[in-house]
Amino acid sequence: MDDHPAESGIRTIAHVVRSDEKFFASFVLMSGANDRPSVKDGGFMYDQETLARWDKQYIWHPFTQMEEYADMEPLIIEEGDGSYLIDVEGNRYIDGVSSLWVLVHGHGKRELIDAIEKQSNMLCHSTLLGLANTPAIILARMLVDIAPNGLSKVFYSDNGSTSVEIALKMAYQYWQQRGEKKRKRFISFSNGYHGDTIGSVSVGGINLFHKVYGPLLFKTYKSPSPYCYRCPLKLHKETCGMACIEEFEKIVIKHKDEVCAVVIEPHVQGAGGMIVQPDGFLSAVRKITKAHNLLLIADEVATGFGRTGNMFACNKERIEPDFLCVAKGITGGYLPLAATLTTEEIFSAFLGPFDTFKTFFHGHTYTGNPLACSVAIENINLFEKEKTLENMNDKIALLKKELQRFSALPHVGEVRQEGFMVGIELVKNRKTKRPYAPKEKIGQKVTQEARRRGVIMRPLGDVIVLMPPLAIEKPTLKRLIDVTYESIKVITGMLENGDKNRR
């Protein structure tokens, strides 16, 4: 890539230069000979071509094949407005996956911006290691209030993966300190996803993401995924009597003396492909873990904060886990924050004089960050003020109704929906359920088509994902669905014709 910009001096693009109160100054400067960003009047200086070039030159994008990315026109987002994202050219896109599943009340929400601003004038950060801060305290109290019963202690971190790591370490140490030293293993589910750090990958079950790291991982027992469309036990939903639960129970009985906890994404396996569990599956898992004295870790990083239409997916089957992991929606999508909630029973096993070393020796630098906590508080307040969950009911029904016509498309294998989590699985052959070859990149192509039509989405392999912001307006939701439908129709139709119509 060309290192030396032909251009130099100051260049601006009219639409990125604004001084309204809504936006922190974003002036544009092409710096001179040495190609370094300059700062003038407190704002960043850039122009679009420079940004595009620097993006490819300096950023290693997550979960992205950078060889392909290098050939693509980067889409650079500059502004958010409700359910829309706006790029540096001023194009508006519906944020169809809520900026990777985090958005609740939309972009640019005044109350959330004000909460951050107000707190930033007071205190931006102080450590939670042995010190407290006001927003962290208030938020902990609120989380305990809204969480399933029995969860009364809040341990903060900054992302979903760490919220799971913390639950794993706590569960392990709990048993160690109770004298049950043989318990070193976990049970989790195939197709499960719990994050990208080594511990959370160890309990994960997505081969594509996790296989290469195999030698680094600790051993876990995997129970079959309740993926009815492609049942790992080769049974049928109508007649199986939830045989996967029997499999789960067998694994529990066989290994219970060496197991600390069972890890599950309640009700929907998200990154595994929006796999919706049959009703009763979750409560059966809870019943079996209780009966055999195993702890249950509910990873609600994706499902929490209203995603499924309930505040937490655990509420749907009225289960009470021993750990609840939350992140993504906790701040409404404004700042990184996570929490691991647990019970008095777990907490008390960590108490004792310092020199018994029962302390939980874990804590991230930005744990309990006051800015993140203050926006999380306002996020939860807004759920009540704006009746966010109640207002979802109509939109969930609309989604359900509009999704029906997708099943008529010849390459739609299955449409799965739980609240505002939707997965549309595309298949090469509907009758045999044969998937597309990976090199056909069907999910990616549909996503690119949707982008041309003004929608941003991100697929999970061949599963097209819709995760609209909870506060999306009905007409925008309708438009999102229509664009998705058209994009699937056009792309799958083209591939059917042997790709010859590709633009």
Ligand X SMILES: *Cc1c(COP(=O)(O)O)cnc(C)c1O
- Residues making contact with ligand X (CB under 6 A): 159-161, 164, 193-195, 265, 270-271, 299, 301-302, 327-328
Q: How far is the CB of 294 from ligand X (least distance, A)?
A: 20
Q: How far is the CB of 284 from ligand X (least distance, A)?
A: 20
- List phi, psi (to 5°) of 465: -110, 135
Cα torsion 101, 106, 111, 117 to 10°: value is: 60
Q: How far is the CB of 292 from ligand X (least distance, A)?
A: 24
Instruction: Classify 341 as helix, strand or coil.
Output: strand
Q: How far is the CB of 33 from ligand X (least distance, A)?
A: 39
The helix or strand, by DSSP H or E, that contains position 220, with its residue range, turns out to be strand 220-223
Residue 63 region by backbone torsions, left for phi larger than 0, else alpha for psi between -120 and 50, else beta: left
Between 399 and 421, name the residue whose CB sits nearer to ligand X: 421
Question: Cα(first)–Cα(last) distance of the chain, in Å?
Answer: 26
Burial class for 129, CB neighbours closer than 10 Å (0-12, 13-18, 19+):
exposed
Helices (H), 178-298: 198-202, 207-210, 243-255, 281-291
Rounded to whole angstroms, the maximal C-alpha distance in the chain is 73
Between 307 and 479, name the residue whose CB sits nearer to ligand X: 307
Q: How far is the CB of 339 from ligand X (least distance, A)?
A: 12
Between 109 and 267, name the residue whose CB sits nearer to ligand X: 267
Q: Is there a contact between 38 and 45 (Cβ–Cβ < 8 Å)?
A: yes
- Residues whose CB is less than 8 angstroms from the CB of residue 183 and which lie 6 or more positions away in sequence, other chains included: 172, 175, 176, 257, 258, 259, 260
Between 266 and 370, name the residue whose CB sits nearer to ligand X: 266
Residue closest to ligand X, measured at CB? 160
In angstroms, the CA 217 to CA 222 distance is 13
- List phi, psi (to 5°) of 303: -80, -20
Q: Is there a contact between 313 and 303 (Cβ–Cβ < 8 Å)?
A: yes
Q: Is there a contact between 411 and 492 (Cβ–Cβ < 8 Å)?
A: yes
Q: Which residues pair with 93 in a beta bridge?
A: 85
- Tokens 């109350």 locate to 111
Q: How far is the CB of 375 from ligand X (least distance, A)?
A: 16
Cα torsion 48, 52, 55, 56 to 10°: value is: -170
Between 302 and 403, name the residue whose CB sits nearer to ligand X: 302
Between 305 and 436, name the residue whose CB sits nearer to ligand X: 305
Between 162 and 487, name the residue whose CB sits nearer to ligand X: 162
- Nearest one of 283, 273, 181, 164 to 227, comparing CA atoms: 273
Q: How far is the CB of 415 from ligand X (least distance, A)?
A: 20
Q: Is there a contact between 362 and 168 (Cβ–Cβ < 8 Å)?
A: no
Local structure of residue 410 (DSSP, 8 states): T
Between 87 and 196, name the residue whose CB sits nearer to ligand X: 196
Q: How far is the CB of 405 from ligand X (least distance, A)?
A: 28
In angstroms, the CA 484 to CA 481 distance is 5
In angstroms, the CA 142 to CA 429 distance is 49
In angstroms, the CA 30 to CA 50 distance is 7
- Nearest one of 147, 136, 132, 137 to 342, comparing CA atoms: 147
In angstroms, the CA 226 to CA 351 distance is 38
Q: How far is the CB of 162 from ligand X (least distance, A)?
A: 7
Between 79 and 299, name the residue whose CB sits nearer to ligand X: 299
Q: How far is the CB of 422 from ligand X (least distance, A)?
A: 15
Between 206 and 495, name the residue whose CB sits nearer to ligand X: 206
Q: How far is the CB of 302 from ligand X (least distance, A)?
A: 3
Between 45 and 282, name the residue whose CB sits nearer to ligand X: 282
Q: How far is the CB of 305 from ligand X (least distance, A)?
A: 12
Between 305 and 485, name the residue whose CB sits nearer to ligand X: 305
